[in-house]
Every structure is written in structure tokens, then in C-alpha cells.
């Protein structure tokens, strides 16, 4: 659903990658990290977090330029 909404922006020549991490909150700590090889002048990403009393969600959308 997230990837579909971002695709509606009609960003030409970009490949979209969407990653979502979901989990239950039970007195633990979670760190989400990523590494990518890309061209920092064209490629970009955005990350959003959600949390309530029982679960967490972290979504990262990468936009990688295609030639």
C-alpha cells in the first residue's frame, strides 16, 4: 500500500524499494539499520516510524535513479 502511494507520485526514472519492519513491543529494544551503494547526488530515502502500546512499525522507502 505504501509503495503504491509513492508510485502515484510518478517520479520518472526511479526504482522504488519499500521495506517495512513490524514487531510486538514486549520490553525489548530494536534498532533498524541499512547500508546501500548508491549515487548520493541522485538517490535518496525516507523513513517513518509508528508505535503504540503493543507494536512498532518502521517503513523505509528508497528511490534509486535508473539510467
11: its cell numbers: 517520479
- pLDDT tens, the chain, 67 aa long: 888 888 898 888 999 999 999 999 888 888 888 888 888 899 999 999 999 999 999 999 999 998 8
Phi-psi label, residue 10: left if phi above 0, alpha if psi -120 to 50, beta otherwise: left
SS3 6: helix
pLDDT at residue 33, rounded to an integer: 86
pLDDT at residue 60, rounded to an integer: 94
Domains of the chain: 2-65 (3.30.1140.40)
pLDDT at residue 21, rounded to an integer: 93
pLDDT at residue 36, rounded to an integer: 84
Amino acid at each position: 500500500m505504501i509503495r503504491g502511494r509513492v508510485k502515484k507520485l510518478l517520479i520518472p526514472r526511479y526504482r522504488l524499494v519499500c521495506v517495512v519492519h513490524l514487531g510486538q513491543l514486549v520490553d525489548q529494544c530494536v534498532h533498524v539499520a541499512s547500508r546501500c551503494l548508491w549515487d548520493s547526488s541522485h538517490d535518496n530515502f525516507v523513513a517513518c516510524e509508528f508505535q503504540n502500546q503493543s507494536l512498532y512499525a518502521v517503513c523505509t522507502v528508497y528511490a534509486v535513479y535508473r539510467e
